[in-house]
Chain A
Amino acid sequence: MKKELLRAGVFCLLVSGWLSSSMAHAQSDPSGKKRITDTYAITNATVFTAPGNPGIKATVLINDGLIQDVGTNISLPKEAKTIVGDSLFIYPAFIAGTSDAGIIKPNDPERPEDFVSSNPPDEIAGITPWRSALDHFSPKDSKIEDLRKTGFALVQITPAGGMLAGKAAIILLGNENSTNLLIQNTALVASLNGSRGMYPATAVGVMAKFREVYDNTKLTSQRSEMYKTVTGLKRPEITPTYSAMQDVVTGKIPVLFSAPSELEIRRAISLQKEKGFNLILTDLEDYEGVIDVLKSSGSSVLVKLEIPDDKAIKAQKEDATDEVKVLNARVKDAYNKALAQAGKLEEAGIPFAFSTVGVKSENIMKALQSMIENGLSEKAALEALTTNSASILGLSSVAGTIEKGKMANLILSTDSIFAENSQIKHMVVDGYIFNFETKSKKKSSKDGHGEQPKIEGNWDYTSETPAGSSGGELSIQKEGSDYTGTITYDDPSGSGKATSPLKNVVLDGSTLSFSFDITANGMEITVDVSGEVSDGSLEATMTVGEFGSFPFKGTLNPTLIATK
């Protein structure tokens, strides 16, 4: 259904560029959703037109989804709505090399009755190159909003799945009533992940199967070619797998190969060398040791926009034994090296971009800041987020910089983009304006100022997720200087309520944060809640693993004991 919508939209996009404006004006708008104007002027802002360029005071004029002009003496048309930009910084909006925003994992297909695990149907074995990310895309997914809030306007969405998951597509994180598809079938998404309990189950099986599929795709097309011209031949067998692999084998689209670790990177490159397809390596987490290999391979590189979890570093204790101290130091060293990797890529002159599959949007800025602190230049960071990703995705002529004629995809922030307290106030995506609340940073109670609100007691809370509204009880107690507690919620694996203990309950000024673990479908998911407490009410955001962020509201129940 959603696929239909999107596809229909593509058609419109192709045939009716001019229709959209002229016809729309002629119609009444019973939905009331039509904009008053699609012309905007952001005046007198500090504009960074491209990575490395200094900020200039300028006005940016937008019309019909495009940047019309950038400069100081622009005459503004009277239909232009003005956004006063004096205190704002404008950057080209970010482009993600890959993203799972909007992607819903499809249900596993049912196993046929004659299923044999040693020779399963392709679809069940994770070999689904014919699938499109658009087939499993929901524009209502909260991750879209989360990612846009972080500065992204364009993303390449990749389907979830096995070793050959399907085709990626490039979409805009634009207005929900627009067709946001830019290009479909942009790359084949591949990984070394095997299928559980069937062939191929492991990386070694996946590599063998990859070669087999690749070689037989070639042979199939050879047979098909002959069949077109020679009579009296047995008809070639057409399979969805080989048909969908054609564009890869002919070099029309690249393979987007997920390769988080050093050894996986080498494995993907070895397959590439053997077979000769175009390769984009993605989800890179551990690559410091193979930077020279990356460089000589000539593959495009997408680094996972995440830094390693620092739990282990924080858990290191001063009073450890000497032996443990030595081991700790090695972990610390590995951690620091991991943070410095992106800078090393820049040093090696590899024009990388970022992948965001499996990345929590709320951690993205922190990850970027940390990479910059550890050697990545701001210019290279911005390139990775804009011009490099545009180039890797083949979008350089339409996106990545602030220039006349490019898509109106802009970040409007309160400070220079990587500054610690910088916040994104508006996003312009495809000429649509998205506004976000900005907050002035609250003083931390650690400074000794300000009274902490009371949080001990029983809270009733409600949360809103795509699954609907739900709620439960939140109970917080104070133990010494720490807080403990429990939370009840609708049991994901049945009816009734389940209870989990709270972890890391922290009250910082009036900001309360805690997390808890839930088990759903055999999967352990950590839920993080963080928000503001005032007068017994909690306005917070709940982040459920990688599934997105949702509103979370709580009310502290009154107790019989008088409040002092």
Chain B
Amino acid sequence: MKLSRTQESGTWMILIHAKFHVPLKKRNHKYMKKTTYFLAALLGLSIQIASAQVKKGSVLIKNATVLTITNGTLENSDVLVQDGIIKKVGQNINAPKDVTTIDGTGKYLMPGIIDAHSHLGLDVVNEATAPIVAEVRMKDVVNPFEVGIYRALAGGVTISHAMHGSANVIGGQNATLKHRWGSTDPADIIMQDAPRTIKFALGENPTRVHGRGNGIQPRTRMGVEGILRNGFNEAIQYKKAWDEYNSASSQKNSKALPPVHNERLQILSDILDGKIIIHCHSYRADEIYMLINVARDFGITKLVFQHTNEGFKVAPEIAEYTMGASVFADWWAYKFEVYYSTAYNAAILTENGAITSINSDDAELIRHLYHEAAKTQRYGGMTDDQALSMITINPAKQLGIDEKVGSIEEGKQGDLVLFEGHPLSSYAVPQMTFVDGVKYFDIKEDADDQRLKISPTQMVEEVTISTDHEDRCMQGTESLFETTNSLFLLNQ
């Protein structure tokens, strides 16, 4: 596991997933219901238009300890979700007709966990071939069949930010996914009402791929900055050329010729116009500060740092100029630029006023982000709400979806997870996970094989779990355990 994590967070090339394309076992026709709903402006929310086809559910969870995140902890409380939206949070709520009631007595209900850095559900992660590939869209290669999505649900994660890799200074546009497991249309797991985001990357990855690998800029951190500034300046000129053409061509007898279309520069121009949130892979304080300066020079405010291991050194600057940092709880030293790190990073960032989230960047770690969040209590003494915010409302803010998800509030989308044990306890186990009020995970209905799609040519091999290591390492000690074992058996 450690090794795979090193690879996934450290090097871009391991992430090119191989996938099988085989017929689906069964079609899911559940998503045909067309509901376009409007939320009353009374609720203080903007009008939301949901994508047409996704499934919406209704459910009443009664008598749980409700961790609202934004409004404290409500003991013995009920949460009613209707048609995908949280309708009511309170006590003694009665279930409307045809709404399933779930007894939450003794259990903890929290908003669905949001992972601001993931590569789940993508057939391609890196178009690594050019220093800027802003034109590529991860939404083009979303794969709703990846079983990791279900496993993430089993860890209470309802939304993940499916990002382009970190091979390029400016990578592709990301997709924000809602884990509607069972959907076969990629469009149905894309959170269509989430704003656009894009991947940037600084430091060793882009300089290794392009500078050392291909002998082109950037070879150094200076080169990375050069790529960024050149790119944005070109985008300004590109936009100007089109603006001039558009105004000229509307004149009578215009002789204006349309400029060459360049999607790459168009996207950079959209970033400059504040239409896209930057999520930037970064480690060192100097490069973080560099990008803050570039952003300030070009008037960019929608900027989130990813990984950000040296964020603690520039926490006040991150707090003042950006939408914060999304970090690992305690993961570092997988390459040179990631040595100067601390598990107090998230706490320091938070205490300095930076919006801070904890992410996984990994298909395994995504299954226990609540443990990762709990580490900020051990290292930095975060409160329950602070720690839980790092996997709920804070990543929601960084993805620009905090008005829709990230806390248990009336009017928000019904993404919920019910825990046995407090989610920040080491003994916490997610029991049920809901997206838009629809239950997609239930530990009691968790079949062994949850794959949606099986290859008709797959060779099945028996899985054997090796116990060699254990055997060798405890060789000759069996007798020492006899007493303990018999005591244990007596007590059973």
* Interface positions of A (Cβ within 8 A of B): 116-119, 197-205, 207-208, 211-212, 215-216, 219, 222-223, 226, 230, 232-234, 236, 260-264, 266-267, 270, 285-290, 293, 308-313, 315-316, 320-321, 323-324, 326-328, 330-331, 333-335, 337-338, 341
Query: A215 contacts which chain B residues (CB < 8 A)?
Result: 261, 263
How many contacting A-B pairs (Cβ < 8 A)?
168
- Contact residue among A205, A230, A321, A323 (Cβ-Cβ distance under 8 Å from B129): A205
Whether A208 and B135, one on each chain, are in contact in the complex, defined by CB atoms closer than 8 angstroms, is yes
Q: Is B131 an interface residue (CB 8 A)?
A: yes
Extra contacts, 15 of them, besides A233-B255, A323-B463 (Cβ < 8 A), are: A116-B216, A119-B130, A202-B127, A203-B124, A207-B136, A207-B137, A222-B258, A263-B123, A263-B143, A264-B21, A312-B457, A331-B457, A334-B454, A334-B456, A337-B456
B21, B138, B140, B451 interface centre (most CB from chain A within 10 Å): B140
Name the residue of chain A whose CB is nearest to the CB of B128. A201
Q: Is B137 within 8 A of A204, CB to CB?
A: yes
Q: List 6 A-B contacts (CB under 8 A).
A: A205-B129, A230-B255, A288-B27, A311-B459, A312-B459, A338-B22
Contact (Cβ within 8 A) B23 A118: no
Minimum CB–CB distance for A551 against chain B, Å = 31
A327 with B27: CB separation less than 8 A: no
Residue of B nearest to A218 (CB): B261
Given the known interface contacts A203-B123, A204-B172, A219-B258, the answer about A333 and B25 at a Cβ–Cβ threshold of 8 Å is: yes
Give the docked Cα–Cα distance between A127 and B289 (Å).
Answer: 40
B138 touches A201 (CB 8 A): no
**A200:B127 contact, CB within 8 angstroms:** yes
**Chain B residues, CB < 8 A from A267:** 140-141
A530 to chain B, nearest CB (A): 22
A321 touches B462 (CB 8 A): yes
B458 on the A face (CB < 8 A): yes
- Min CB–CB distance B455 → chain A (angstroms): 7
User: Across the interface, do A216 and B25 meet the contact criterion of CB distance under 8 Å?
Assistant: no
Judge whether B449 and A208 touch: CB under 8 Å.
no
Q: B260 within 8 Å of A by Cβ?
A: yes
**B176-196 interface (Cβ within 8 A of A):** 184-186
Residues in A whose Cβ lies below 8 Å from that of B261? 212, 215-216, 219
Q: How far is the CA of A223 from the CA of B245 in the complex (A)?
A: 12
Give Cα A338 to B260, complex, Å. 45
Question: Chain B residues near A326 (CB, 8 Å)?
Answer: 448-449
Decide: B127 and A199 in contact? CB cutoff 8 A.
yes
Closest residue to B133 on the A side, CB-wise?
A: A205
In the assembled complex, which residues on chain A have CB atoms less than 8 Å from the CB atom of B23? 262, 286-289, 334, 337-338, 341
Q: Is B14 an interface residue (CB 8 A)?
A: no
Residue interface bits B31-54, CB-to-A below 8 A is 1, else 0: 000000000000000000000000
CA gap between A204 and B143 in the complex, in Å: 12
B216-A118 in contact (CB<8A): yes
Which of A261, A286, A334 has the most chain B CB within a 10 Å cutoff?
A: A334
Contact code string B187-225 (vs A, CB < 8 Å = 1, else 0): 000000000000000000000001000101000000000
CB-based closest 8 A-B pairs? A261-B21, A118-B130, A289-B24, A335-B456, A199-B129, A205-B127, A288-B23, A334-B454
CB of A291 to closest CB in B, whole Å: 8
Q: Complex formed: what's the CA distance from A116 to B259 in Å?
A: 24
Query: A residues within 8 A CB of B184?
Result: 262, 289-290
Q: Which chain B positions have C-beta within 8 A of A198?
A: 129
Which residues of B sit under 8 angstroms from A320, Cβ to Cβ?
Answer: 460, 462
Which residues in chain B, 246-296, are within 8 Å of chain A measured between CB atoms? 255, 257-263
B214/A118 in contact, CB under 8 A: yes
**Contact: B129 with A234, CB < 8 Å?**
no
Question: Cα distance A255–B339 when bound, in Å?
Answer: 51
From 448 to 480 in chain B, residues with beta carbon under 8 angstroms from any chain A beta carbon are: 448-449, 451, 453-460, 462-463
Q: Is B389 an interface residue (CB 8 A)?
A: no
Closest residue on chain B to residue A202 by CB atoms: B124
Find B27's partner among A289, A308, A310, A328 (CB 8 Å cutoff): A289
Q: A208's contact among B27, B260, B263, by CB below 8 Å, is which?
A: B263
With A and B bound together, what is the CA distance between A202 and B19 in angstroms?
A: 13
In the complex, what residue of chain B is closest to A237 when comparing beta carbons? B260
B27 / chain A contacts, CB cutoff of 8 Å: 288-289
> Quick check: is B356 within 8 A (CB to CB) of the other chain?
no
Question: Closest Cβ of chain A: how far from B235's Cβ, in Å?
Answer: 16
Asked whether B22 lies within 8 Å of A286 as measured between CB atoms, the reply is yes
State whether A309 and B457 are in contact (beta carbons under 8 Å apart), knowing that A233-B255, A262-B24 are contacts in the complex: yes
List the B residue with the shortest CB-CB distance to A335.
B456
Does the CB pair B260–A312 fall under 8 Å? no
Chain A CB within 8 A of B326 CB: no
Complex CA gap A270/B224 in Å reads 34
B126 proximal to A (CB < 8 A): yes
Across-interface contacts of B463 in A (CB, < 8 A): 323
Instruction: Name the residue of chain B whose CB is nearest to the CB of A330.
Output: B454
- The residues of A that contact B451 with a CB separation of less than 8 Å are 330
| Contact residues, B112-147 vs A (CB, 8 A) | 123-124, 126-131, 133, 135-138, 140-141, 143
A509 to chain B, nearest CB (A): 29
Smallest CB gap from A265: residue in B: B21
A423-B434 Cα distance, complex, nearest whole Å: 59
Residue of A nearest to B23 (CB): A288
* B127, B138, B451, B453 pick with most chain A CB within 10 angstroms: B127
Contact partner, A219, options B21, B260, B448, Cβ 8 Å: B260
A95→B16 CA distance, assembly (Å): 38
Q: If the complex has contacts A204-B136, A208-B136, are A312 and B460 also in contact, measured as CB distance less than 8 A?
A: yes
Chain B contacts for A321, CB-based, 8 A? 462
**Chain B contacts for A270, CB-based, 8 A:** 140
Q: In the complex, what residues of A have CB within 8 A of residue B216's CB?
A: 116, 118
How far, in whole Å, are A201 and B130 apart by their CA atoms in the complex?
10
Contacts of A233 in B (CB 8 A): 255, 257
Contacts of A287 in B (CB 8 A): 23
Inter-chain contact B140/A201, CB cutoff 8 Å: no
Q: Which residues from chain B contact A308 at a C-beta distance below 8 Å?
A: 456-457
Collect the chain A residues with CB atoms within 8 Å of residue B259's CB.
219
Contact between A334 and B127, CB atoms less than 8 A apart: no
Known: A263-B123, A326-B449. A285 touches B21 (CB 8 A): yes
In the bound complex, what is the Cα–Cα distance between A327 and B25 (angstroms)? Answer: 13
Residues of chain A within 8 A of B456, CB atoms compared: 308, 312-313, 331, 334-335, 337-338
Q: How far, in angstroms, from A261 to B128 measured CA to CA in the complex?
A: 24
Q: Give the docked Cα–Cα distance between A232 and B256 (Å).
A: 11
Question: Are B457 and A212 touching (Cβ within 8 A)?
Answer: no
Question: Which residues on B sit within 8 Å (CB–CB) of A330?
Answer: 25, 449, 451, 454
Asked whether, in the complex, the Cβ of A197 is within 8 Å of the Cβ of B129, the reply is yes
What residues of A have a CB within 8 angstroms of the CB of B454 in the complex? 330-331, 333-334
Kindly list chain A residues whose C-beta atoms are within 8 Å of the C-beta of B457: 308-312, 331, 335
Provided the pairs A203-B123, A219-B261, A330-B25 are in contact, do residues A118 and B129 lie with their beta carbons within 8 angstroms? Answer: yes
- How many Å from the CB of A330 to the closest CB on chain B? 5
CA distance A388 to B58 in the complex (A): 47
- Contact of B459 with A117 in the complex, beta carbons under 8 Å: no
Q: Decide if B255 touches A232 in the complex (CB within 8 Å).
A: yes
Q: How many Å lie between the Cα of A311 and that of B449 in the bound state?
A: 22
CB < 8 Å neighbour of A234 from B257, B448, B449, B459: B257
Provide the bound-state CA to CA distance between A326 and B131, in Å: 47
Q: Name the residue on B nearest A327 (C-beta).
A: B460
From residue B207, how far is it (CB to closest CB) to chain A in Å? Answer: 14
Docked complex Cα distance between A28 and B186 (Å) = 67
Residues of B within 8 A of A197 (CB): 129
Cβ of B54 to closest chain A Cβ, rounded Å: 16
Q: In the bound complex, do residue B21 and residue A331 qualify as a contact, i.e. CB atoms below 8 Å apart?
A: no
Cross-chain contact B25 with A118 (CB below 8 angstroms) = no
Most buried by B among A208, A230, A311: A208
Known: A232-B255, A312-B460. A118 touches B131 (CB 8 A): yes
